[in-house]
């Protein structure tokens, strides 16, 4: 390849890959002295000014994504009619090549890849970005089975352009597009979830869920046909994992997991159940819950007195500011020193006294018959003395 220098900074070294929308080169950033990957858009895309505006905006948005499972974007630029993106260079393979060589994968390996894919795409979903072209060719693997998702922004920019131009590229990789994308609708996070489900299906079975003799037939299969059960194609896949993937491949977006983050949490929970990497993957029985602690002994509390309604005030009586009107049945408030107008306090019951022998007797009345007789005799004696004193005084006078 004839050596080419983009904007006097990026020297193209060799072609590293290609796709329906771009060609990828290994290059050298001569200003920073590092190896980078440069994705150059195909000329068929650069003839649409509206696409280029959208593409540059999407590239700037992706450049703000900093996540270990997303390929880092360093720069976006233009040299004449050549439009390009500068990214970190990864010396690895794309997932499509690995699937062709090794699929079907073990359950453990599949979950390891899928959880990382969901982590990267889920991070973009939280930032308001949709990938719109999730497929194994856009998923790179590095040493240690680290996953890096690439090609954010290009398909999303294309989705915002006119439909006739969009169809030229959509049919470049129709095996992974959601039914609504095949119908020309704008992609959403739920469409990315569908595409991840197709990748999961392919990793576990070594084949795609839908096949067709041409692009139109394949599109109708995504829209109408029910995908086969993975557990029937690979008996090592447990029905519970099969059910999760079937949900991602639902025809209606509302029936799928909403975002890649949600799907990732489901897969993590499945993995943490202790599934075996090989064999039937029977879930480990849940740990027996410890016996409940004995309930603490109740603490005795004396019964609370019945609530008494609040008193109401009446006009002042005999110089007092206010006089409370007690509710019916309330004890007499003799300590107030007055009786409010219009209210008669009940008299307290007569107290009982205890006889020295232990039985109760009523307190004697204050005036009885004997007392009255004695009082009459005393009165008569006084009258007799007065009469006698009168007679004596007359005799001496």
- Residues recognised as catalytic: 133
| Closest C-alpha to 181, from 136, 130, 125 | 130
Q: Which helix (H) or strand (E) holds 56?
A: helix 49-63
d(CA 174, CA 151): 16
**Residues 88/89/91/94 CA torsion (nearest 10 deg):** 70
**Is 23 in contact with 42 (CB distance < 8 Å)?**
yes
Q: Which residue has the tokens 């004396």?
A: 302
In the beta sheet, which residues pair with residue 37?
26, 87
d(CA 81, CA 65): 27
E-only strand ranges, 265-320: 312-314
The phi and psi torsions of 165 (rounded to 5 degrees) equal -75, -35
The phi and psi torsions of 386 (rounded to 5 degrees) equal -65, -40
**Is 140 in contact with 311 (CB distance < 8 Å)?**
no
The phi and psi torsions of 111 (rounded to 5 degrees) equal -65, -40
């Amino acid at each position: 390849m004839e050596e080419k220098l983009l904007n006097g900074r990026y020297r193209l070294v060799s072609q590293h890959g290609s796709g329906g929308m771009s060609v990828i080169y290994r290059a050298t950033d001569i200003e920073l002295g590092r190896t980078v990957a440069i994705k150059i858009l195909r000329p068929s895309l650069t003839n649409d000014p509206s696409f280029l505006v959208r593409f540059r905006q999407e590239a700037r948005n992706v450049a703000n994504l900093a996540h270990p499972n997303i390929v880092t974007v360093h720069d976006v630029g233009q040299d004449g009619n050549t439009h390009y993106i500068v990214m970190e260079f990864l010396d690895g393979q794309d997932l499509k090549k690995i699937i062709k060589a090794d699929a079907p994968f073990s359950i453990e390996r599949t979950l390891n890849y899928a959880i990382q894919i969901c982590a990267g795409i889920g991070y973009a979903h939280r930032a308001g970005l949709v990938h719109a072209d999730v497929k194994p060719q856009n998923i790179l693997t590095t040493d240690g089975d680290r996953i890096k998702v690439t090609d954010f922004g290009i398909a999303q920019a294309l989705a915002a352009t006119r439909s006739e131009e969009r169809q030229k590229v959509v049919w470049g990789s129709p095996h992974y597009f959601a039914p609504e994308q095949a119908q020309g609708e704008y992609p959403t996070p739920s469409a990315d979830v569908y595409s991840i489900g197709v990748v999961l299906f392919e990793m576990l079975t070594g084949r795609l869920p839908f096949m067709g003799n041409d692009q139109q037939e394949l599109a109708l299969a995504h829209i109408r046909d029910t995908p086969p059960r993975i557990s029937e194609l690979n008996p090592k896949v447990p029905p519970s994992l099969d059910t999760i993937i079937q949900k991602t491949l639902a025809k209606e977006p509302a029936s799928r997991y909403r975002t890649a983050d949600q799907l990732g949490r489901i897969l993590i929970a499945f993995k943490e159940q202790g599934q075996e990497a090989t064999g039937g993957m029977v879930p480990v029985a849940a740990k027996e819950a410890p016996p409940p602690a004995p309930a603490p002994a109740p603490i005795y509390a004396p019964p609370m007195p019945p609530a008494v309604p609040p008193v109401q005030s009446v006009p002042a009586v005999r110089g007092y500011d206010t006089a409370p009107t007690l509710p019916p049945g309330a004890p007499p408030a003799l300590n107030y020193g007055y009786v409010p107008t219009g209210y008669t306090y009940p008299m307290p019951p007569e107290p009982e006294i205890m006889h020295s022998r232990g039985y109760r007797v009523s307190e004697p009345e204050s005036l009885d018959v004997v007392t009255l007789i004695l009082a009459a005799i005393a009165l008569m004696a006084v009258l007799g003395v007065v009469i006698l004193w009168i007679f004596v005084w007359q005799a001496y006078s």
